Each structure stands twice: as C-alpha cells, then as structure tokens.
Amino acid sequence: MKEISGGVCAATGFRANAAYCGVKGKGPEKPDVALILSEQECAAAAVYTLNRVKAAPLYVTMEHLEDGSAWGVVVNSGGANACCPKGHENAQAMCAAAAQATGREAEDFVVASTGVIGQALNISAIEAGIPGIAAGLSGENSGLAAQAIMTTDRTQKEIAFSLELGGKEVKIGAIAKGSSMIHPNMGTMLCFITTDCAITPQMLEEALRDVTARTFNRVVVDGDASSNDLCAALANGMAGNPLIEWKDEDYETFLKALEAVCTHMARAIAGDGTGSTKLITCQVRSARSEEGAERLAKSVVSSDLVKASMFSCDPHWGRVMIAMGCSKAPFRPEHVDIYFRSAAGEVLACIRGEAAPLDMDKAQKILDQKEVVIDVDLHEGDQQAVCWGCDLTADYIKINGSYRS
C-alpha cells in the first residue's frame, strides 16, 4: 500500500467539484457546496453521530442508503440544517437539485450539511449553485470539495492510497472536516470515502463500523458531539478486483487500507482542534483489555488539565494519572509508567506510580513540538489502544465564542 494524490477523486470513476454559493450569506467567498459523483452505482455505507439530536440530512441519508447503494454526495457548509424549519424538506431538495443536474435520482445521493445549528438553511442559494457545480465535475477537484466542507478548520483534509487486491490496483481516498465539538462516537466531523474496490454493501458497512470504532471514535477535542456527524463510504467496483463477499484475505487487506485512511483523518481532525497548537496522542499499552486501554486513553486526551499542561509544555504526569483514575477503567496505579515523547526525544516521568528523576528542560523541549505522545505502560497485560486529542488554548474560547459571526 502506498500513499497517492487525488483524495476522493483518486479512485477510478469518481469526480468532484465545489463552488461558493453564498449559503451563509456573508463572510469570505470560499467554496460552500460540493458534489461527488461516481460513473457507476456504488455499494454504500455510513455511520452517524450517536447524539440523540440528529440533523435532517442524516435521516434523509439513512433513508437513501437502506438499499446499500448510492451514486454520489451533495454537501454544504454555512448551515447545519439542524433543529430548524423545513429541515427534512430542504435536505430532500438538495438531493433533488443534485439529481436534476446530474441525470440521477434524488435517492441516489448521500446528503450532509455543517454550520450553525438552528438557522433555516439557505436552500435557494444551494439550488442555484448546484447546476454549475455539476457542470464542472472533474477528477481534479477533490481539493475544492475538501475546502467546501470546512468551517473552523484551518487546513483542508484529504488523503488517498493505492493497494493490490486479486492482482488489480485498487484506490481509496477521502476528504474530511472537523475541528471542534469533537468527542468519541463522532463529533462535528464529516468524512466522505470513495474507492473503486468491488465489495458488497454488507462487507463495506461492517468494515466501516469496525474501523470507525478504532479511529474517529477515539478522537476528542472538547467533549461535545454534534448533530450532523457522518462518515460515508462509496465503492463503485471499477477496479475490477474479485468481489469481496466474505471476511477473507482480500477483506483484511481492504480493511487495513480503510483504517489507514480513517487514522490519517482522525489524526488530522485532532491536530486541527479549534485554537490548538499541537496534536496529543495517548497510547495505553500492556493493558488487560483493549476496551479498558481505550477508556483510559480517552480519559487522558479528554482532560482539560492534561490539555492545558500540554499547551504550557508542563510534564505534569500527575494530571495524566488522575485523568486515568476518573475513567472508571480498572488498573493498578502502583504499576504505571508514564513517558512523554516527541520528535525531540523521550523522558520517563513516572515509574511504578511515583515520580521518576526528570530533566525539566529536556521534558519541556519534548513537549514543545507539534505532536506529543503520552505513553502509558500499565504492566498488566498485552492489549493496547491509541486515542487522539489536542491542547487547550485561549483561542478555543475566542473562536467558538464568535462562531455565529
């Protein structure tokens, strides 16, 4: 498997485009509506936010994917279409506009929105812009589509890989957005994955759910979960590989590629947390169970005190220990070792639950990097888990405090 360019257009038969339609009605003129379209019908699957408050586009997408197929995606930023008048009607109208512009049916589309909750969607702007977007669909426009779904994101997020299945080259790519209201079980994030792999809808859904549990559901920025979160995967089979119908060797190879895509995106979302200066990775190893390790790691990257310490480059391992203790996962504190690691080196801060001799200058240099790893060794078993988060800064409050402006 190797990384390639192209994002959601890397796989054979997928095109994309996006443009500024004025959905928000103010602000910079960045692309805010995007289309992704396949040349052939796709096996399709999606996972959704577990928040009880779900935006109208999610319910429409659920309806459209009941048969396990789709042809494309229509998505906007600048308005969440959640908890607002005519939400379901407007989500359907987006699909109808995409269908009319591309010669498909409304039911052929995944639909998604992101932006401010509670405000009526500017559907007229979207409907007016979609024909032009459809006319410009291209295999070169993944980057434009990635820009169109950004809100408080500072960087556009796209990735693609190629791999071999059954003697055929298979490609898989994605775009994503997310920077705040990020919490396990999906946060304010959207991710659209495209592949030319031949795989059944059942196997695609199982793979997506499996991978999401180990990637996107292990990201924490601020502990909030949104109403609009969606991760959808479309597979058009145009690579010509033998159809994946079972959990065989080809399925496992595809699963690894899908996990590579989602891991890249999960890290990108965590590292782009609103106002953040660094990505925090917490690895908990030598645990009794993967579930327990995940709960411990999640608790660490969720802790505001740990996040604040990482911002100030303070190797405060005690805060890591206390965060673990709040997780309700079983572990023995007296057996715990805690390391801080980055491109600048590694220090052991806690050994067997007590302070280790620590070079403070070295530790601070290690923490003064764009990515910091908190490595926790429980000395209890052979299971492990990794979760991702970011530091907490004053800019988080400033940016989210002015989100509606």
Catalytic positions, please?
A: 188
* Residue 244 per-residue DSSP state: B
Task: Indicate the Cα dihedral angle 217, 223, 229, 234, nearest 10°.
Answer: -20
Helix (H) or strand (E) holding 165: strand 157-165
Residues 6 or more apart in contact with residue 4 via CB below 8 angstroms? 10, 160, 161, 162, 171, 173
Residues 261 and 239: their CA atoms lie apart, in Å, by 18
Return the structure tokens found at 65. 């994917």
Residues 336 and 351: their CA atoms lie apart, in Å, by 6
Residues 6 or more apart in contact with residue 248 via CB below 8 angstroms? none
Residues 6 or more apart in contact with residue 28 via CB below 8 angstroms? none
Q: What are phi and psi of 308, to 5 degrees?
A: -65, -40
Q: What are phi and psi of 123, to 5 degrees?
A: -70, -30
Return the structure tokens found at 70. 């789709």
Residues 306 and 53: their CA atoms lie apart, in Å, by 29
| Residue whose token pair is 């908990």 | 284
Return the structure tokens found at 263. 């891991």
Residues 266 and 177: their CA atoms lie apart, in Å, by 10
Residues 34 and 133: their CA atoms lie apart, in Å, by 7
| Residue whose token pair is 């004025």 | 22
Beta pairing partners, 390? 279
